[in-house]
Amino acid sequence: MTLSNPAAVNANWLKLKELNNQQTAALSPKISSIGEKWIGPFILDNVERSRVLCNFVATNGLYTVSSGGYQAAVNVTIEVEVTPVNESGAAIGNPMLKQIILKGSAKS
């Protein structure tokens, strides 16, 4: 996940520029949001498509570190919506929803 303008939400992000290597000591942030966050839509132009494959990657991992220094896995629920559309992008069928759990790892 990349934040487009994190300082707009919390001005403390600007302090990273002042730190050595732009890093803080190890910590376990919690990302949360109010409401849904959608990415897309993406139009797939193959009318004969019978399935859509998605590959989700957490490039920095999905884990938390306790105050005692122990690392534990964190899981994230992701929902994918697929809606059939015509050539002009108008929906021609009901959306199909699929939820998956992206599983974290306690190993680094």
Question: DSSP per residue over 51-70, as a string?
Answer: --------TT-SEEE-TTS-
Name the residue type at position 36: E
Q: How far apart are CA 64 and CA 29, in angstroms?
A: 8
pTM of the predicted protein model: 0.52
What is the DSSP code (8-state) at residue 52? -
Question: What are the φ/ψ torsions at residue 22 (nearest 5 degrees)?
Answer: 50, 45
Q: What is the pLDDT of residues 69-84, one digit of tens each?
A: 888 888 888 888 888 8
pLDDT tens column, 19-62: 777 766 665 555 555 556 777 777 776 777 778 888 887 777 88
